[in-house]
Amino acid sequence: MTDPTLQIRTLLYQEIRSLKNAMERIHLQDGEILFQRGDPGDAFYVIESGQVRVFTYDERGKELTLNTLQAGEAFGELALVDDQPRSASVSAVGPVTLLQLCREDFVQSVHSSPALTQAVIQLLSERSRHMISYVEWLGQWTRLVAEGHYDQAMNSLDAGREAQDDALAAVADAVGSMVQVVKKREEQLRQEVAQLQIQIDEKKRQRHVAEITETDYFKGLAERANRLRQRAAEIRKESAQPISLEEVTMSKIVSIHSFRGGTGKSNISANVAAQLAVKGHRVGVIDTDIQSPGIHVLFGMDEEKIDKALNDYLWGRCAIEETAYDVGAKFNEGEVVLMSGGMYLIPSSLRAGEIARVLQEGYDVGMLNEGFQALIEKLNLDYLIIDTHPGLNEETLLSIAISDILIIILRPDQQDFQGTAVTVDVARKLDVPTLYMVVNKALTSYDFDDLRRQVEETYDSDVASVIPLSEDVARLQSSDIFSLRYPGHAVSEAINQIVTVVEKA
């Protein structure tokens, strides 16, 4: 990739040498700066003897050599035709003698020398062609690095060096170093991924599980859960009047749970429900996180317009179907997204007094099961999605116990790993029919296949999806259903993996 401008620079040098009266001879010592990047571009130079180095600075302030010019070559030609600042810096390499032509003198001389004008035009034209080729090469090199083809990228750099293009060789040295840094960083990330190990304190796990499951309350709950499942099946059979066994078991209760808050449980619940509804299912979403409700925000519901909530049903003020709000149509950036099946939200109250009463007095959790079955019957639901309260309290255990499908959300975090282990064991002792894991907020540098494998082996349960950590989700600030707003996003694709698993369960 030889510089095609060399002959034209020589021609320009010869023409300018004829302007002896207009030229000024300048002497530089080794390392002396002729001009800095950003200085006014007011003169053109011909090297009479010695060498000069053309350089710039990287983002850290380190010098980056772009070219080394020899005696007989010229530089700074752009200063002859424009009035822009210098694009690079120039310094002497050893003693240097230059011939300087100021822009004003050039402008005066060019009218009397057509050959000089032609030489400048040709030089600028060839420089432009050379730059286009250079940019094309640099674009190809960048693509190779971005795709991780480091060996091919380095071969491309070596080809530039072999072509003896000084400018390209200088840049090749700099970008070659960058390739090595990127490659080394990638290897470090791979090592970090390999070091991501799920560690469970088995003694602590067994102790915590025993503390929960060996109580009279839990034993009674397990027996009650079996009776509730049997009764639920009877209710569905009686109300649906099915013509086949498939219709008896079509309606399903799906609990989405996490051991700790902050896992994105409500966000996942809302997105899974929305995607099921878009696919033609009738879906109910119930917020049983009564102490700290919030899923209504994702559906754009104004809390001032929530007249009746789940709390009103639990305290006997109304039938549960009166607390259901139709959220089956979603306005999305000027377009209406229709949930072809239908979707209903049963929110919990956000009033401070109502929340305080729950904390002080509690409520009859047995009414939750009756309410779940009533919603399925009255709204003719295919799926009832339960957004549970984090942890393992009374109402959460009941929601888990009567679920057809339990989805446990966890983050790649040691505290989540330990607590989730207890949750999985408790759920199994409640004989939950179907259990899936979902890993949320996984760093994109992780090996997702390896992470999935570790989770499945640790908890002896299938992983429905690994959802990447995304700034796009954070940027939305829970103001909308993400998978409806960005259907092609990696997070939305991960949500649809959960939906597929739920439909097949």
Give the integer Cα–Cα distance in Å for 478 and 480: 6
Q: What is the mean pLDDT of residues 84-110?
A: 85
Residue 17 lies in a domain: yes
Burial of 255 from C-beta contacts in 10 A (0-12 / 13-18 / 19+): buried
96 contacts 46 by C-beta, under 8 angstroms: no
User: Which token pair is 371?
Assistant: 């309410």
Give the integer Cα–Cα distance in Å for 21 and 19: 6
Beta partners for 65? 55
Residue 1 lies in a domain: no
My answer on whether 184 and 329 are in the same domain is no
Residue 328 lies in a domain: yes
Task: Provide the phi-psi class of 469: left if phi over 0, else alpha when psi is between -120 and 50, else beta.
Answer: beta
Contacts of 240 (CB under 8 A, 6+ apart): 247, 248, 250, 251
Residue 20 lies in a domain: yes
Residue 482 lies in a domain: yes
Task: Specify the DSSP element, H or E, that contains 345.
Answer: strand 343-346
Residue 362 lies in a domain: yes
Give the integer Cα–Cα distance in Å for 48 and 114: 24
State yes or no: pLDDT of 192 exceeds 90.
no
Give the integer Cα–Cα distance in Å for 313 and 165: 80
My answer on whether 86 and 122 are in the same domain is yes
269 contacts 285 by C-beta, under 8 angstroms: yes
Give the integer Cα–Cα distance in Å for 379 and 277: 13
State yes or no: pLDDT of 131 exceeds 80.
no
Query: Among 237, 263, 253, which residue's Cα sits nearest to residue 469?
Result: 263
467 contacts 438 by C-beta, under 8 angstroms: yes
Give the integer Cα–Cα distance in Å for 307 and 270: 21
Identify the CATH number of the domain in which residue 100 sits: 2.60.120.10
My answer on whether 156 and 228 are in the same domain is no
State yes or no: pLDDT of 9 exceeds 50.
yes
Pairing of strands 405-410, 283-287: unpaired
Neighbours of 173 (CB within 10 A): 14
Tally of domains in the chain: 2
pLDDT grade for 74, boundaries at 50, 70 and 90: confident
Q: Which of 133, 168, 193 is the last residue of a domain?
A: 193
State yes or no: pLDDT of 249 exceeds 50.
no
Give the integer Cα–Cα distance in Å for 317 and 158: 79
Residue whose token pair is 């540098």: 445
Burial of 231 from C-beta contacts in 10 A (0-12 / 13-18 / 19+): middle
Identify the CATH number of the domain in which residue 371 sits: 3.40.50.300
State yes or no: pLDDT of 111 exceeds 80.
no
My answer on whether 112 and 225 are in the same domain is no
Instruction: Check residue 28 and give its pLDDT.
Output: 95
Burial of 497 from C-beta contacts in 10 A (0-12 / 13-18 / 19+): middle
My answer on whether 186 and 216 are in the same domain is no
My answer on whether 221 and 362 are in the same domain is yes
Task: Provide the phi-psi class of 375: left if phi over 0, else alpha when psi is between -120 and 50, else beta.
Answer: alpha
* Sheet-wide strand order for 383-387: 325-326, 343-346, 283-287, 383-387, 252-258, 405-410, 434-442, 463-468
My answer on whether 409 and 471 are in the same domain is yes
Q: Which of 163, 193, 223 is the last residue of a domain?
A: 193
Give the integer Cα–Cα distance in Å for 416 and 262: 10
Give the integer Cα–Cα distance in Å for 445 and 449: 12
Highest-confidence range of 89-93, 355-359, 443-447, by mean pLDDT?
89-93
Lowest mean pLDDT among 116-125, 267-276, 351-360, 398-407: 116-125
Instruction: Check residue 281 and give its pLDDT.
Output: 93
Comparison of pLDDT for 493 and 137, the residue scoring more: 493
Residue 113 lies in a domain: yes
My answer on whether 303 and 440 are in the same domain is yes
pLDDT digits (tens, 9 = 90+) for 205-214: 999 999 888 8
User: Which token pair is 132?
Assistant: 């286009």
Q: Which of 141, 167, 193 is the last residue of a domain?
A: 193
My answer on whether 30 and 121 are in the same domain is yes
State yes or no: pLDDT of 483 exceeds 90.
yes
Burial of 359 from C-beta contacts in 10 A (0-12 / 13-18 / 19+): exposed
Contacts of 193 (CB under 8 A, 6+ apart): 445, 446, 447, 450
Task: Specify the DSSP element, H or E, that contains 46.
Answer: strand 43-57
Q: What is the 3-state secondary structure (H, E, C) of 254-272?
A: EEEEECCCCCCHHHHHHHH
Pairing of strands 325-326, 343-346: antiparallel
Give the integer Cα–Cα distance in Å for 104 and 87: 20
Give the integer Cα–Cα distance in Å for 324 and 306: 10
Residue whose token pair is 């939200």: 345
pTM for the structure as a whole:
0.60
Burial of 45 from C-beta contacts in 10 A (0-12 / 13-18 / 19+): buried
CA atoms 120, 125, 129, 134: torsion sign: positive
pLDDT digits (tens, 9 = 90+) for 21-71: 667 889 999 999 999 988 888 888 888 899 999 888 876 777 878 788 888
Q: In terms of residue numbers, what domain contains 249? A: 202-504
Query: Among 462, 408, 460, 397, which residue's Cα sits nearest to residue 430?
Result: 397
My answer on whether 356 and 499 are in the same domain is yes
pLDDT grade for 346, boundaries at 50, 70 and 90: very high
My answer on whether 130 and 273 are in the same domain is no
My answer on whether 259 and 373 are in the same domain is yes
Give the integer Cα–Cα distance in Å for 23 and 93: 22
Residue 388 lies in a domain: yes
